[in-house]
């Protein structure tokens, strides 16, 4: 299988995937860890609880707090968390390992990254949409704009850009294959 490299963009995607691994590991996947690992000051990974407490205390992000509840008010949040840990994290680890070699991507990689980008965009869009439905007595419109503009927008725009890049790579492969078939 032929590999394509888009040097600069591949480095951007490598950085993105590494950042995704860090964010999932330090914030989003924490509810999946046994509580004895992070919940009390004596816990070996207590710094994870402190990161969570700082984030929630500073930004009051209901979506992050939902993941720590035994029964979430928004059941879709739990589903998003399962998809993030079950699909996004393994894909990000695979992608980081693949892209760090600097040898480009295969058609299969590009298809996987296209699906990943679409899913990541959609799940983040769902979160951003939810923010605008939070109780206006508790969250001002300025706070909602800050959360969506400051956090969620980059988690939509970067995967959207990745989707376009992977689509164009795959389209180039299919077009080249079609041309090769016609010339035979």
Scan for tokens 């991507």, then name that residue.
105
In a domain, 176, yes or no: yes
Helix pair angle (75-83, 107-131), 10° resolution: 160
Which token pair is 64?
């992050």
Number of domains observed in the structure of the chain: 1
Judge whether 2 lies within some domain: no
Residue range 130-157: average pLDDT?
A: 93
Instruction: Provide the residue range defining the domain that includes 37.
Output: 7-183
* 23 assigned to some structural domain: yes
**pLDDT beyond 90 at 6:** no
* CB neighbour list of residue 118: distance below 8 Å, 6 or more residues apart: 159, 163
Q: Please give the mean pLDDT across all residues of the chain.
A: 91
29 falls within a domain: yes
Take residue 95 and report the two structure tokens written for it. Answer: 């992608």
Examine residue 100 and state whether it is found in any structural domain, yes or no. Answer: yes
Residue 133 has pLDDT above 60, yes or no: yes
Cα–Cα distance between 146 and 149 in angstroms, integer?
5
Residue 1 in any domain: the answer is no
Write out pLDDT tens, residues 91-117: 999 999 999 998 889 999 999 999 999
């Amino acid at each position: 299988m032929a590999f394509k490299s888009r040097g600069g963009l591949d480095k951007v995607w490598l950085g993105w995937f590494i950042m995704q691994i860090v964010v999932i590991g330090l914030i989003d996947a924490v509810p999946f860890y046994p509580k004895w690992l992070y919940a009390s000051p004596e816990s070996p990974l207590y710094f994870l609880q402190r990161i969570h407490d700082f984030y929630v205390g500073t930004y009051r992000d209901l979506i992050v707090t939902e993941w720590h509840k035994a029964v979430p008010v928004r059941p879709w949040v739990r589903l998003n968390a399962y998809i993030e840990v079950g699909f996004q994290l393994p894909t990000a680890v695979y992608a980081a390992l693949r892209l760090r070699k600097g040898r480009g991507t295969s058609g299969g990689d590009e298809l996987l990254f296209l699906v990943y980008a679409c899913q990541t965009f959609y799940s983040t869009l769902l979160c951003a949409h939810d923010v605008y439905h939070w109780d206006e007595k508790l969250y001002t419109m300025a706070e909602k704009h800050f959360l969506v503009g400051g956090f969620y927008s980059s988690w939509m725009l970067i995967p959207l850009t990745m989707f376009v890049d992977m689509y164009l790579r795959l389209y180039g492969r299919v077009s080249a294959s079609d041309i090769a078939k016609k010339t035979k």
